[in-house]
């Protein structure tokens, strides 16, 4: 683990333009997210700093631990077509956005600000819709994904980024096109 942390800080010492996601405009939030906020209103309130997180070894460990732990404890199960529900995993099963919700909730419990933990909708290399967690840091925007335990910069994932939560208000969403 120490070797991985050293590699991390050597490779990602500061934020470069390509390492951070930039948005175009506000968009209508996904209807599934609106329903999620009605069911879990405390998870759609902004709190904490608006500043990007300055990663240190403890915070990197927390990211890796939560990402791996959630990935290992939930079994993938896709919601039925036309009935996509964004919620916490049920009975140990969930789809991609359920993983994101669980990871985000655990990091918030550890004291991470909501502005650093953004639900994000992407398209995978096979053209399928997918949800990931974007983590806004001074070292770049990193992606926590249920498809891998590896945490990568957004521009190293191979995904097309479409939209995500606003860091200013978790109920608002922005276009990334």
Cβ pair 159, 132 in contact under 8 A: yes
Alpha carbon distances (Å) from 104 to 12, 46, 112:
22, 13, 9
Calpha distance 138→53 (Å, rounded): 6
Q: Quickly list DSSP for 84-120.
A: ---SS-BTTEE-HHHHHHHHHHHHHHTT--GGGEEEE
Give percent of the chain with pLDDT exceeding 70: 86
Q: Over the stretch 93-145, which tens digit does the pLDDT of each residue have? A: 999 999 999 999 999 999 999 999 999 999 999 999 999 999 999 999 999 99
pLDDT at 22: 65
Spacing of C-alpha 76 from chain mean position: 17
CATH code of the domain occupying 2-175: 3.10.620
Indicate the domain borders of the chain: 2-175
pLDDT band at 80 (very low <50, low <70, confident <90, very high): confident
- The residue-averaged pLDDT of 78-91 equals 82
Calpha distance 165→115 (Å, rounded): 9
């Amino acid at each position: 683990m120490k070797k991985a942390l050293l590699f991390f800080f050597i490779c990602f010492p500061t934020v470069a333009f390509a390492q951070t996601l930039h948005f175009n405009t506000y968009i209508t939030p996904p209807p599934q997210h609106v329903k999620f906020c009605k069911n879990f209103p405390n998870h759609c309130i902004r709190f904490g700093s608006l500043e990007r997180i300055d990663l240190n070894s403890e915070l990197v460990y927390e990211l890796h631990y939560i990402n791996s732990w959630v990935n290992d404890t939930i079994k993938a199960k896709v919601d039925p077509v036309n009935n996509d529900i964004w919620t916490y995993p049920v009975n140990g099963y969930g789809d991609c956005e359920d993983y994101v919700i669980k990871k985000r909730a655990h990091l918030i419990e550890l004291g991470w600000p909501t502005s650093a933990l953004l639900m994000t909708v992407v398209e995978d290399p096979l053209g399928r819709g997918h949800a990931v967690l974007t983590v806004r840091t001074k070292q770049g925007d990193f992606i926590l994904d249920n498809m891998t335990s590896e945490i990568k910069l957004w521009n190293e994932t191979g995904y097309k980024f479409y939209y995500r939560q606003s860091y200013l208000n978790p109920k608002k969403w922005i276009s990334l096109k």
